[in-house]
A = this chain, B = another copy of it.
Amino acid sequence: MRIGLAQMRVVTNAVNRNVLRVREYMHIAQMQGVDILVCPEMCLTGYFLGDRWECNHLLRATHEAHNSLFADSSAMALVFGSLRVFENAKNEDGRPRKTNAAFVAQNGSNALHFSHPLDCVAKSLSPNYRAFDDSRHFFDSRKWHSELPDTHAHQALLKPFEFTSSNVASRIGITVCEDLWDENYALKPLLLQAPQSDILINISCSPYSDAKETRRRKLLQQAAKATQRPLFYVNCVGTQNIGKTVYGFDGQSLAVAPDGNIVGEGAFFEEQLLIYDVHGGQINPVSQIQMETPTNRTHLTRSALPQKQKALESTLSFVCEEMNIQHCTIGVSGGIDSALSATLFSRVLGPDNLMLVNMPSHYNSQLTRNWAQQLANNLSAPFCEIPIQSAVELTRQQLMETENLANHPRFELSKWVLENVQARDRSARLLAGVAASLRGVFPCNANKAETTVGYSTLYGDQSGFLCPLADLWKFEVYEFAKSYNTLMGHFVIPEGTLNVVPSAELSAEQNIEQGQGDPLVYPYHDHLFRSWVERWERWTPLDVLESYELGTLESDLSIPKGLVRTLFPTSQSFVSDLEKWWSLYSGLAVAKRLQAPPVVSLSRRAFGFDHRETLSGWILTDSLYESIKQRILAKTSFD
């Protein structure tokens, strides 16, 4: 029997377009003699639609799309993920009941209509972590079971469908995405399904993240071995978002033999049709067909860059295509973040479609100004310089000369106020104006460390249409920059930019020529902040202090031995630094992140709706924290 895996691109909410793409795959698969063609989870509508599932129009349009696929199906079975709506039943929110499900179209109709209690195979396990909100919209098979335990036994709900090829009937067990990731659930769908099945298929819509590839491979290998069945996994390609967090979908579909060997794998972020023959439980790869795509992204996915960097480029490329972005203005300071951002957009949109803008005040060194210009030359991108000094001076004067304001007892034009005036002048006045005059956008170049503690100005450097770098720690920004220089064989990102101390250059105290810069010590704070944001059971200063007291902090944070002592000679200085940044992270930075642009997700935990937050500072006053803090402060050192 011949199985085709359609590692297809799915465009959110573009039902017509997605149906057309399924048909293209069907056409090619049929010519290749495929018996069963498998498309990903929710491949008609997309999966991350926010609350659009509440519009009955979407439900009707999806139903119409199914029917057309059912009607046009041939002897080849088409397995695809979509939405099953039960108009006469209610979801727990009182709206029509919706189930995330797998369908089989064959011989002009829904092949599961008479054989399966729900006409489809419902997803059994509902993820409700990170980006996933399944229980908000979908009624899973466990809920069906709890309502009607007799007629909806788990086994019956997971029943395979039968496919006969050359007079041999095979039983194909289908599950949907999370059903495979059953580690923390009482119900184990694959183990229930395997004894009834000859072949197992999982259809997914699973976003890229840094650590996932290895975990996914291992999980599938274990599942194939545990079930002793050939296991096929199909994932989509493209981008989808949950509003504030933007994901790439990397494909990397898999065919795994019952002994756990990976027999085939789809390409990274590329649309492909993968074809395999299965006989007696053995899988033989037949071919791996590249799909035609309107814009060629292979220079992004096949470069010598690290996987994570390719993921960022590919995701950004899909985003720009779907948002119809043709031009990008980028504020370049001569620093590393904006240099990386410019290089990235130059790869994705081409240098001709950029405008790099340097906006000096009298605090900006001639060195950084030169590096900004040099970056533009290296990239062959258009460049201009627009100074902000006169506008900043005008603002200062207007505030000072407005009588009722300047006489007000609370009035003070402090250093901080004037620093933020500069940042807002650059972004909200100039960059936004330049980008609009060129009918394009401008990005926010903040990295993850800055985003964690809100080291940015709202309506200033925190603004933009998207934050492509906000899921990269500062050390990763350097790594990516160096990778580009290596890839291109010369200093695209100027050496000076790579070596200078990071600085916002907003005041005389941030003079880079005197080696002065940001208050963040990235080799330490990157890793401290990471423990607050990315650990699955997230750290707070309590965990940090416990680790500090035990003397294991450096190994727990994976930072060089001796670094903490060097940076913080006393416990008091260590604790003060910790509390200062925690207070920002849980306070003002939340307010900034709530108004920040969407973040491209790359790690296992990105800011945005993957990291849900409330506007309520978390001041550490509980006795657990206080007692350990007092103990630490009582000792002068930990020798």
User: Taking beta carbons and an 8 Å cutoff, which residues of A are in contact with B?
Assistant: 11-16, 46, 48-52, 54-58, 60-61, 64, 90-96, 125-129, 133, 135-136, 142, 146-147, 183-187, 240-244, 246, 322-323, 327, 355, 382-386, 390-391, 394-395, 398-399, 402-405, 408, 410-414, 416-417, 420-421, 424-425, 427-430, 432-434, 436-440, 458-460, 463, 465, 536-540, 542-543, 590-591, 594-598, 609, 611-619, 621-625
Contact = CB atoms under 8 A, between A and B. Distances in A.
9 contacts: A133-B133, A355-B405, A384-B403, A395-B430, A399-B437, A417-B433, A420-B433, A425-B429, A459-B459
Contacts of A135: 126, 128, 135
Contact of A55 (B50, B539, B597): B539
Nearest to A356: B404
Contacts of A395: 391, 429-430, 433
A408 B355 contact: yes
4 shortest interchain CB distances as A-B pairs: A428-B428, A50-B612, A93-B129, A384-B404
Residue in A54, A95, A126, A414 whose Cβ sees the most chain B Cβ within 10 Å? A54
A616 B92 contact: no
Residue in A384, A459, A539 whose Cβ sees the most chain B Cβ within 10 Å? A459
A360 to B, nearest CB: 13
Given A128-B136, A420-B436, A537-B95, A408 B429 contact: no
Nearest to A12: B616
Given A382-B404, A386-B399, A424-B433, 15 more contacts: A93-B184, A96-B537, A135-B135, A242-B612, A243-B594, A355-B404, A384-B402, A384-B404, A391-B398, A398-B430, A408-B438, A410-B439, A420-B432, A428-B429, A598-B615
Contact of A624 (B61, B385, B427): B61
Contacts of A386: 398-399, 402, 405
A594 B590 CA distance: 14
Contacts of A184: 90-94
B432 A327 contact: no
A398 B125 CA distance: 58
Contacts of A16: 621-622
Contacts of A390: 394
Nearest to A621: B16
B384 A614 contact: no
A625 B436 CA distance: 33
Contacts of A54: 536-538
Contacts of A543: 56-57
A96 to B, nearest CB: 7
